[in-house]
Every structure is written in C-alpha cells, then in structure tokens.
C-alpha cells in the first residue's frame, strides 16, 4: 500500500454550521482523491493528529472537512481558531470507504459528522441512487440539509420533535421498508454501527454489502 503523502496548505475559510459543527475549507494543491477517502490533519505534535473524511467532491476547487469542536479535544480547538491564510498540514488521501458502483442503490446511515462522506459521494456522483438516514440529537446538526434534500433524505432527531423521525436511526429502521440488496454505508458513532450491522444481517442483508467507517464513541444519548 502506498504511504499517504504529506502536504502543506492554506486555510480558505472556517464556516460554523451549528453551535459546535464547523466546515473547514483549505487549498487543494492539486491533490487527487476518491470520494470517501480520508485525510489526517496534523496538530502541533503527532499525538494531536486526527483523521477526517473529505467532505468535498472529487472535482471541487477546494478540500473541505467537517468537524465538531470539542473544547477538551486535542486538535479541534486548534482548527476552530483557524483564519483564512493560516497554514495547515495534512497527509493523505487514504481509506476504503468509497462508492463501489455508482449505478447501485446506496443506503447511507450516519450519525452526527459521519455524514461528511455522503456529501462527497453526492457532489461527485450527482445521479447516485442514494437514500440518506441521518441521526442527530438536535435539528441544527443536520449538516448540509439543503444539499441532501435533493436526494432521498430521512432525518432522525432524538431530542427534538418536528423534524423528520423523532428517535434514533436504529429505531427508525424497525419500521422502514428498505431494499435488502442495496449497498449499506454506515458512518458515525461506533455504537450505531454495531447495532445496525446486527440489525441488517438479521434482516437478510449480505455482509459483503455492508461498509463501515467509525468516527467516534457516543457516550450519552
């Protein structure tokens, strides 16, 4: 396997999307990547490095990553202070969480910032037959909602009423009629991924049709 190369870039913008969610845009520098690949953004020391899926499309002008600012975190407090023109170092691309067949139906199941690769998929493959089920605690964290509503978009909000399904994605699927032969992409909280894998396998989905990318551990509901 080829070792991901290291790059030095410049920040273009930092856009707040919610109380803690941010979209960081930086110069691409000619980097080629496949939608669904990751970058490792480097902190001041190697222990601060963190990996993020590229949230922009393969032909977009800039690179973008979606992150949640964690005040006690190692890297996100640094990213949340970035200004246009600031340097940023990253390595990549790498990872295998990509679209296998753009003509095959995809059911993308995400929690929180795990929705980032889905945006890269749709910006790269506008005609992709995709259904997105996005689980969040509050509606403000339905990142990129305006873009996703162009596809089949099914939001699940666990702590507020009035926006889509009230509850978790795992509860939503108990009454959701879905195609068993679709490709299932699970991204976000480890607990959701584990629960959905068990559910899908018990529902008759072939294990080879389930692809996962764990982002974080969800400590509280």
pLDDT, one tens digit per residue, over 120-133 is 999 999 999 999 99
- CATH T-level fold of 106-216: Rossmann fold (3.40.50)
Q: Distance (Å, rounded) from C-alpha 48 to C-alpha 141?
A: 25
- Per domain, the residue ranges of the chain are 5-94, 106-216
- The pLDDT tens digits for 7-17 are 999 999 999 99
Alpha carbon 113 to its chain centroid, in Å, reads 5
Q: Distance (Å, rounded) from C-alpha 155 to C-alpha 208?
A: 26
Average pLDDT over residues 102-123: 97
Task: Give the pLDDT score at 93.
Answer: 96
Query: For residues 120 and 52, is the Cβ–Cβ distance under 8 A?
Result: no
CB-based burial label for 69 (10 Å; 0-12, 13-18, 19+)? middle
pLDDT of 221 strictly over 60: no
The reply to whether CATH 3.40.190.10 applies to domain 5-94 is no
Q: Distance (Å, rounded) from C-alpha 102 to C-alpha 128?
A: 6
pLDDT of 20 strictly over 70: yes
pLDDT of 175 strictly over 90: yes
- Give me the chain's average pLDDT, please: 94
């Amino acid at each position: 396997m080829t070792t991901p190369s290291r790059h030095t870039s410049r920040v273009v913008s930092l856009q707040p999307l919610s109380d803690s969610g941010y979209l960081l845009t930086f110069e691409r520098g000619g980097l080629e990547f496949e939608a669904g690949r990751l970058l490792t953004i480097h902190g001041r020391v190697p222990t601060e490095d963190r990996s993020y899926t590229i949230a922009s499309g393969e032909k977009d002008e800039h690179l973008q990553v979606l992150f949640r600012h964690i005040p006690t975190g190692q890297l996100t407090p640094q990213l949340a202070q970035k200004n246009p023109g600031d340097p940023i170092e990253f390595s990549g691309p790498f990872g295998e969480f990509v679209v296998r067949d753009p003509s095959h139906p995809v059911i993308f199941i995400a929690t929180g910032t795990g929705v980032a690769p889905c945006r890269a998929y749709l910006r790269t493959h506008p005609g992709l037959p995709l259904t997105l089920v996005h689980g969040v605690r509050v509606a403000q964290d339905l990142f990129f909602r305006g873009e996703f509503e162009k596809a089949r978009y099914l939001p699940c909000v666990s702590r507020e009423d009035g926006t889509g399904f009230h509850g978790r994605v795992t509860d939503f699927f108990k009454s959701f009629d879905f195609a068993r032969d679709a490709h299932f992409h699970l991204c976000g909280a480890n607990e959701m991924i584990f629960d959905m894998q068990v559910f899908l396998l018990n529902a008759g989905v072939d294990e080879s049709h389930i692809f996962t990318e764990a982002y974080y551990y969800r400590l509280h509901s």
